[in-house]
Amino acid sequence: MGKQRLALWLGQLLLCGTPEAPCGECSNCRHAMDLTHPDLVWVFPRPRKDDQADAAPDEVAANLAEAVSERREALGLYAAPPGTDGIFVSGVRSLVREAIKPPSVARRRVVVVGDAEQMARTEDAAEAANAFLKLLEEPPAHLTIILTSSEPGALLPTIRSRVVSIRAGRLSDAEVRALLSRPEVSAFLDRVDKDSLDLRVGRAGGAPGSLLSATSLAAARENAQRILAAASGSRGAQLRVSLAQGASGARGSYSDTLDELTRLLRDRVATSLDAGDGAAARRMARGIPAVERAKVRAAGNTHPGLLTAQLVRELAGMS
Ligand SMILES: [Zn+2]
């Protein structure tokens, strides 16, 4: 529905110093729209490897700045982060640290927290969670905090009780159509499917962001198919598919790729069984634990390229 877009717009409204806020022309507005305003802080879930508990605050802030600039370069079009991403201990600490700073150029400071239900839970981050709750309870006078969530029920009750909730409803089909007709949006969606505008409006069901996630799932599925095909290919093919995993922008979706790989192997087991080929089904089934092991390593700090190189070797052994 564009909840984070709305939150950022509210941020712009609060930072704009003119009577016609948001005027869209003053320097506060321009920097807010460009996501470069020092008093508009946008925090959202990141892969765990970019958010180690012992990471230096500057390192966490630099990682987040890079993620924000990726979203800016993609014109604000991004898929929902996978469920394995989160705002972990160092992310929450950095958020609190940024929030309490006095405004640097505007009169206020605004912190937008996207997918807030993926924020560290008290059990793994008591200290950070308490600092955040204290911030929500007694925010400095200059500060506005906006949380967005697709699952407000999953927020800690201690957070829910400290905020005013506003429901962002689904968009009308006419609004979705207007958004999807924009050249940059249709170009983004054209990269994956060739669906007509009518079909996309129908698939969006009032929540156009879901089309972006479908896009990333389709990309993950294609990537999983390439990995599986490379496993039965030459050494060169295996190396190429492994090297391709390190590309920027593919990082967040690697866990989606592994999920799709599991699904693909299960499908092939079922197809082989239906065809009465028990031997082929057993071979495919042997690949599933290898993918599960890769998922465990992917949650750590291992580079997707290295993981894929090991995984294709193990998958190659099954045929
Ligand atoms: Zn303005």
* Residues 245-295: tens digit of each pLDDT: 865 444 446 877 888 899 899 989 998 999 999 998 998 899 999 999 988
List Cβ neighbours of 64 (8 Å cut-off, separation of 6 or more). 43, 46, 91, 94
Distance from residue 12's CA to the centre of ligand 1 (Å): 7
The strand pairing partners of 41, in sequence order, are: 111
What pLDDT, on a 0 to 100 scale, did the predictor assign at position 120? 67
Query: What is the identity of the amino acid at 99?
Result: A
- Residue 231: which of 282, 276, 272, 284 has the closest Cα? 284
Tokens standing for 76? 């604000």
Distance from residue 310's CA to the centre of ligand 1 (Å): 53
Distance from residue 115's CA to the centre of ligand 1 (Å): 27
Distance from residue 39's CA to the centre of ligand 1 (Å): 14
Distance from residue 64's CA to the centre of ligand 1 (Å): 25
pLDDT (average), residues 64-92: 85
Least confident of 152-156, 164-168, 270-274, 313-317: 152-156
Distance from residue 16's CA to the centre of ligand 1 (Å): 4
Inter-CA distances, 224 with 84, 88, 185, 217, 261, Å: 18, 28, 25, 10, 5
Task: Round the average pLDDT of the chain to a whole number and report it.
Answer: 87
Distance from residue 36's CA to the centre of ligand 1 (Å): 14
Distance from residue 163's CA to the centre of ligand 1 (Å): 26
Distance from residue 126's CA to the centre of ligand 1 (Å): 39
Distance from residue 13's CA to the centre of ligand 1 (Å): 7
Distance from residue 145's CA to the centre of ligand 1 (Å): 20
DSSP code for 119? B
Tell me if the pTM is above 0.75. no
